[in-house]
Amino acid sequence: MSLPLKTAILTAALALVAGFTASAQTERSAGAAISCRIEKIEASGGVTLNAIAESHKAIAGTYLFEVQKRGGGGISSSAQSGDFQLKADETTVLGVVGLGGSDRLTYDADLTLTSFDGKLLCRHD
């Protein structure tokens, strides 16, 4: 494969990944196959985090939902992963993590979606 052809392929691949990743900044981006978010629900005694994916066309892939909690008792981590398959215009909860604790509770949560279209990262901290 010639150097100009390799350069053209690499440039196209980077543009695809950049376009897919940019969709994380907006709920729905023109042409993006999927978007994600981490929903926080507060209740007495703690917080629940929902990892949510929304498809704009039929798509399948894998997900990784990682949460790290810091509080008075130290640090704990949780990771959930699996496959997903969504129909066009479908929204689903891929994972749920409950965080009990005090008012001083802090956490970081990442949801990574990987499909043929690329990789998308949603972050909540």
- pLDDT at residue 13 greater than cutoff 70: no
What tens digit of pLDDT does each residue of 85-106 get?
Answer: 999 999 999 999 998 866 677 8
Three state DSSP letters for 3-48: HHHHHHHHHHHHHHHHHHHHHHHCCCCCCCCEEEEEEEEEECCEEE
Q: In what order do the strands lie in the sheet with 74-86?
A: 74-86, 59-71, 106-115, 118-124
Supply the DSSP string of 103-114, one letter for each residue. TT-EEEEEEEEE
The pTM of the full predicted model, rounded to 2 decimals, is 0.71
Say if residue 63 is exposed, middle or buried (CB neighbours under 10 Å; 0-12, 13-18, 19+).
Answer: buried
State the CATH number of the domain containing residue 31: 2.60.40.2420
Q: Which domain holds residue 76?
A: 3-124
Domain count, the chain: 1
